[in-house]
Every structure is written in structure tokens, then in C-alpha cells.
Amino acid sequence: MSSSETVSDTGQALRDPKRPRDVALRESDRERAPLSERVGRHETCVLTVVIPARDEEADLPQVIRGVREVLRADARPCHEIVVVDDGSTDGTAQAARELGVRVVRHPYGIGNGAAVKAGLRCARGVVTVLLDGDGQHDPDDIPRLLEGLARAPLVVGARTGGGSSLHRHLANRAYNLLASYVANRRIPDLTSGFRAVRTDVARRFLYLLPNGFSYPSTLTLSLLRSGHPVLFVPVQVRKRRKGTSSKIKIFRDGSRFLLLIARVATFFSPLKVFLPLSLLVFGLGFGYYLYTYFVSHRFTNMGLLLLVLGALVLSLGLVSEQVASLRFEKAESGWEEEST
């Protein structure tokens, strides 16, 4: 019997009044067991490894073999590997099929984020591991990511060096600093695509994830600002070998990352954006008032306009904060019930 059938039968047992109460309670306790125990039980858990790939025919087979070796050595025979081919023009999909993994194909290139969302939608696992198909992520780090799921629903492999140029490293540091301010927590790596996540939690935020390469940023900030703990595990990143060059362009995608962070901030924590803006406008109005008062001994309409505008921006932020709290009240209550 497969793990999915076991979970389904458990739910039917709990709803069937004819089943003995002690059996239903035992199965209920098993469903409510901590995630670390459920991940370790082969009969009740399936681990899904999602590998988004585009034109990675050369590197993908080695990545798949590495993942299989690690999971077998870690005594996790109940797993599946899903390769999402995002409109490749080479033999990426065929290379994956020859190794006996599930393949989901896009008829054309939609984007890395769209490939990840497709993988999460079709994943059968309680836990999903995401890693790139270009060989930069070391599958040997997967067990370390899975261990962290006992304490958080999302564990991110934070890159500690290698695999990126100086300008990309500096840009990532800038993104990390801005995201740390938004999330009110230090974020060592905002854009890492190597992560392990509870599948049900990730699916709650699929509608927020963009189709491009900024999906890791959105998923990380979404969970942090909605109250979920996120762990960061240091990992080493290897340089690309034979595949195509990185498809992320710093100057083209940099503004998109900044806009994305602002969008997520206003969605989850509007005061992080509106409060500094209102203080800036109010400060300009007050400073202009002092200037006109000491220079011309009068209070101008411009000064009054800036003061009123600062108050309006603050009021808009307060209202937006209340709306954001109401939006996630139901999701937070559901998370607390699952954690008990």
C-alpha cells in the first residue's frame, strides 16, 4: 500500500463511525505526530524532490543520480523525483525519462517560478525539496535541510561562497539587507533556490509566487511575514559545469527584485513601507514650516499640504495593516491547529 493510500485510509477511518474508536484515535495521533517523525516514517510519508530545468541535458542526469544516491544512503526509499522541463529546446525531458523520473513539460518557457509551482502542484510528498538542475546544488546537503523541518516548515540552503561573480554577490547582499528590514529578521540568503518545505504550507502561497526567478524571495518573505519560522542552513554552491549560463541578469532583474520586495512588504507588513514614507513627508512638511516661519514669519499652504499628506499616508498604512492582519487570521489559526 502506498503512503498516499495510507493517509487517505486514515482520513476515512476517522470519519467512519463504524470503526473502533481506539483505532481511529491511534491513527489520529499518527497524523498529528511532529513533522520530524512523519518524515522518518516510510509508510506514512512521501518525499518529493522537484528539479526545475531548462536546457540542462548535460547536467541533469548527474543531478538525478546524486539525489537518488543520497536518499538511498539516508534510508528514505519512499520518495519521488519530479523534473519540470520549462520549454527546453534540447533533450532535457528525454534525459530525465531515461532515468525513470516523473517529467512535467511546459510547451514553451514560462519561467523558473512557473516550473516550481507546477512541481509543487503535482507533488505527492508531505515534504518537497527544491533544487536546480544545473548541478550547482549539492544533493549531499538534502538530509541537513530535512533535519531542519522538525523546527520550521521552510529550510533554506544559504549559500556561503563560490558559484557567483562579485557583482552578483554584492547585489544579493543588498537584497538580503532590504529583505531583513521587511521581515524584521536577518536573512542570509534571500534568493537561494535550494530549499526544503512542507508541501501544504508552500501551496498556500502559490498564488503569490511569480513565474520568474524571484519565486525564492517571495516564498521566503511570505512565510516570514505571515508568522512561520524559517531556518537557514549554510551550504556550498558549486560552479556550473556544462549547462547554459545563468539566466538571471542583475541589471534587468534587479529592479524586479526590489519591486517584488516592496510588493510583498505592502502585502504582509504595510507599515514597513508606509511608516517611513509618512515620516519622510511629515518631516519635509515640518522642516518647510520652520524654514518659512523663520525666514518670512508665515505658515504656507505647501507646509500644511505636506503635513496633511504625511498624516494621510500614515492612516493608509494603519488601515492596510489591519487588512493584512484579517487576511491571514484564518491561515494562522490553521497553522496552529496543525502544530498542536
Domain extent, residue 281, equals 271-339
Residues 285 and 263 reside in one and the same domain: no
Strands (E), 6-69: 47-53
> Looking at residue 28, what is its pLDDT?
40
The pair phi, psi for residue 179, each rounded to 5°, is: -65, -35
Q: Which residues contact 213 (CB under 8 A, 6 or more apart)?
A: 111, 112, 113, 191, 247, 248, 253
283 within domain boundaries: yes
Residues 184 and 225 reside in one and the same domain: yes
Residues 80 and 133 reside in one and the same domain: yes
Q: How far apart are CA 213 and CA 335, in angstroms?
A: 27
Residues 101 and 134 reside in one and the same domain: yes
Indicate the range of 68-77, 81-90, 103-112, 321-330 predicted with least confidence.
Answer: 321-330
Report the CATH number that the domain containing residue 155 is assigned in CATH: 3.90.550.10
Strand partners, 317: none
> Looking at residue 43, what is its pLDDT?
39
pTM as predicted? 0.72
Q: How far apart are CA 32 and CA 19, in angstroms?
A: 19
The more confident residue out of 284 and 331 is 284
236 within domain boundaries: yes
Per-residue pLDDT band for 4 (boundaries 50, 70, 90) equals very low
Cα-Cα-Cα-Cα dihedral sign, residues 21, 24, 28, 30: positive
Cβ contact 39:127 at 8 Å: yes
Packed helices 271-296 and 250-268: angle between N→C axes, nearest 10 degrees = 90
**Count of domains for the chain:** 2
> Looking at residue 323, what is its pLDDT?
84
pLDDT at 277 over 70: yes
pLDDT at 11 over 80: no
pLDDT at 65 over 70: yes
Residues 327 and 277 reside in one and the same domain: yes
pLDDT digits (tens, 9 = 90+) for 197-218: 999 999 988 888 888 877 888 8
Cβ contact 292:286 at 8 Å: no
Query: What is the mean pLDDT of the segment spanning 16-31?
Result: 40
The helix or strand, by DSSP H or E, that contains position 311, with its residue range, turns out to be helix 301-327
